[in-house]
Amino acid sequence: MTALHFEEYVPVPTYTLHELVETYFLHHAPEHRTDHGIKRAFKLLAECFPNADTSTFGKKNLLFFQNFLTDKYDRHYCNRLITFIRRVFKWGALFDLVSVNLSHELTLIPPLRIGDRRCRENKKRLNVPTVCIENVLPLLRPVIADMLRLQRLHAMRPSEVCNIKASMIDFNYKGGNWLYLPEEHKTAGAAALQVPTL
């Protein structure tokens, strides 16, 4: 009969929720679009569970937190915050900072659906009427007015217009046109993952 060999059980270390998210930011490549959201999610999580750590946190806590959020925010933002929590725990499981079972548990909480009576829906955003834009343009400083025209012409977000630098523009593009080449954009792909050394 083949002898059985048992490996020694090595418990997963315990971290406070603050330590977990701080470790995430210490070793994870920065993603400026989501950093604020992750920090906000864990700040609210700390309000809800001030003494929780990775050994006591679980799916029931996340469900309670989801309900906690519905009193404060709309459905879409609640789902985003829950996604940010899951992302950090999943990253922690990848590097043995939290158990894989815990990371999987958190995926069992379904997102809030349209029509869920626990939360509100934001009103649909409407386009600003052209007449309003035309009326305000003469009141703006020339640079701001040009930024508004550019935003309307290319359906850009305000942050995208504000982030344009001269170094990103080819002023000698063919035909006398200018060619805008951003250094990065949201569909360019995920940032490189950095492995923590703990």
Between 73 and 122, the higher pLDDT residue: 73
Mean pLDDT of all residues in 24-47 = 85
Q: Are residues 95 and 46 in the same domain?
A: yes
Q: Are residues 88 and 40 in the same domain?
A: yes
Mean pLDDT of all residues in 57-76 = 93
Q: Are residues 79 and 154 in the same domain?
A: no
pLDDT at 171: 86
CB atoms within 10 A of CB 95: 15
Q: Are residues 70 and 27 in the same domain?
A: yes
pLDDT at 1: 53
Map residue 179 onto helix, strand or coil: strand
Is the pLDDT reported for residue 196 higher than 80?
A: no
Number of domains into which the chain is organized: 2
Residue 94 domain-assigned? yes
Residue 123 domain-assigned? no
Confidence band of 65 (pLDDT split at 50, 70, 90): very high
Between 108 and 158, the higher pLDDT residue: 108
Residue 66 domain-assigned? yes
Q: Are residues 94 and 144 in the same domain?
A: no
Q: What is the mean pLDDT of the chain?
A: 84
pLDDT at 162: 87
Q: How many CA atoms lie within 13 A of 60 on its CB side?
A: 2
Residue 186 domain-assigned? no
Q: Are residues 98 and 142 in the same domain?
A: no
Compute the C-alpha angle 49/53/54, nearest 5°: 125
pLDDT at 101: 93
Q: Are residues 102 and 134 in the same domain?
A: no
pLDDT at 27: 85
Spacing of C-alpha 5 from chain mean position: 44
Q: Are residues 145 and 102 in the same domain?
A: no
pLDDT at 194: 47
Q: Are residues 69 and 25 in the same domain?
A: yes
Is the pLDDT reported for residue 2 higher than 80?
A: no
Residue 194 domain-assigned? no
For residue 86, the domain's CATH number is 1.10.150
pTM of the model: 0.65
Is the pLDDT reported for residue 33 higher than 80?
A: no
pLDDT at 115: 80
| Structural domain span for residue 169 | 130-175
pLDDT at 29: 66
Cα–Cα distances in angstroms (integers) from residue 31 to residues 28, 41, 70, 119, 182, in the given order: 9, 15, 26, 28, 16
Residue 138 domain-assigned? yes
User: Token pair of 46, please?
Assistant: 């700390």
pLDDT at 32: 63
- Rounded CA gap, 41 and 196, in Å? 22
Q: Are residues 143 and 70 in the same domain?
A: no
Q: Are residues 102 and 25 in the same domain?
A: yes
Is the pLDDT reported for residue 150 higher than 60?
A: yes
